[in-house]
Chain A
């Protein structure tokens, strides 16, 4: 596709439910990032993939958060047993192969707004 796409755009979950958020990166982009943006703040890093390898997950706030990218393209961020503090916008970004070049321009999707009741 022309840009990064994410689905769903909006998700309402009851506390304790599991959710799955999807990201389709720009075609040919090897590097993929997830960020979390709380209301009124800048995005904060969650995790990073190079192809299918998850190279950095230091930003995941708890073991309830899990991300995968099994075929090196589409990625899914899963949150288990959602809590109210998980309410935020979840942004996905992609860029070229950062293992080869230092040109790290990241392009962001529209985000998924998660509300946990």
Chain B
């Protein structure tokens, strides 16, 4: 089945710093989402981005579907950005389920 790898696995930032999270996937996909799982476990939708670039405030994302990767940019990080960031891709077998990456655990220090 499709493999989804995220890097780095762990990241510690000082408040105000910028970062780039990467998601590589091993097969062509039709849909891709980025999520933030907060310390209470809630998965929050950040971007639905099967291709192209989107921005939402301090966050932006780019998916290059032909090269099988997606990037999530966090600028001017805040302590509330802490948590785990997941990339998820729709299983190309056509069953609509999402396959999640291993996650990037981010800690932002004040």
Q: Nearest Cβ in chain B — how far from A51, in angstroms?
A: 14
A98: chain B residues within 8 A (beta carbon): 96
Q: When the two chains form their complex, are residues A56 and B43 in contact, meaning their CB atoms are under 8 A apart?
A: no
Q: A105-B45, A106-B33, A110-B42 are in contact. Are A48 and B97 (CB under 8 A)?
A: yes
Tell me if A72 is interfacial: C-beta within 8 Å of chain B. no
CB distance from B28 to the nearest CB of A (A): 14
B41 shortest CB reach to chain A, Å:
6
B42 near A106 with CB under 8 A, answer: no
Question: How many contacts between A and B, using CB within 8 angstroms?
Answer: 61
| Bound form: Cα–Cα A29–B86 in Å | 23
Is B100 within 8 A of A42, CB to CB?
yes
Instruction: Give the distance to chain A from B44, nearest Cβ to Cβ, in Å.
Output: 8
* Cα of A103 to Cα of B101 in the assembled complex, Å: 20
Neighbouring B residues of A42 by C-beta, 8 Å: 86, 88, 100-103
Residues of B within 8 A of A (CB): 30-31, 33, 35, 40-43, 45, 48, 86, 88, 90-91, 95-103
